[in-house]
Amino acid sequence: LCTSPVVRIRRSDEEYYLTYKGSGLMIRKEYNLPLTKESYEHLKEKIDGRLIEKTRYLIPLDNGLTAELDIFEGDLAPLCLVEVEFKSVDDANLFIAPDWFGTDVTQSGKYHNSYLSRFENS
């Protein structure tokens, strides 16, 4: 809905949310508010830019961590991104990613959904 600040709508199965994301790269505050399906559908008509469609897979890792693997669809395919959330910056800095994660893009805003909604994938 908006890229500065980042305000988006999300659907996961039959659950709907309005999400606010703060600025930053590694650390970003996020707030989720529940929406009804009707509210989601109404707001979806108001998006400015590309509607991002992706499938998210939750993959268990060691130490109780979870990899969130996003497989993008439509004109963002075949983009795939993986994210892990940590309890602290120190935990994030100590993490050794499995080889299948590929290149670390944490410090690049180019892979935030707010950026991807505005620009062609390159």
- pLDDT at res. 122: 43
Identify the CATH number of the domain defined by range 52-122.
Answer: 2.40.320.10
pLDDT, one tens digit per residue, over 58-106 is 999 999 999 999 999 999 999 999 999 999 999 999 999 999 999 999 9
- pLDDT at res. 1: 82
Judged against a pLDDT cut of 50, whether residue 121 lies above it is answered with: no
List every span in the chain annotated with CATH 2.40.320.10. Answer: 52-122
Pairing assessment for the beta strands 2-3 and 80-84 based on DSSP bridges: unpaired
- pLDDT at res. 119: 62
Q: Give the strands of the sheet with 15-21, arranged side by side.
A: 2-3, 6-12, 15-21, 30-35
pLDDT, one tens digit per residue, over 25-66 is 777 888 999 999 999 999 999 888 888 999 999 999 999 999
Residues 6+ apart with CB under 8 A from 49: 3, 117, 118
- pLDDT at res. 29: 85
- Secondary structure of the chain as H, E, C letters: CEECCEEEEEEECCEEEEEEECCCCCCCCEEEEEECHHHHHHHHCCCCCCCCCEEEEEEECHHHCEEEEEEECHHHCCCEEEEECCCCHHHHHHCCCCHHHCCCCCCCHHHCHHHHCCCCCC
Judged against a pLDDT cut of 70, whether residue 120 lies above it is answered with: no
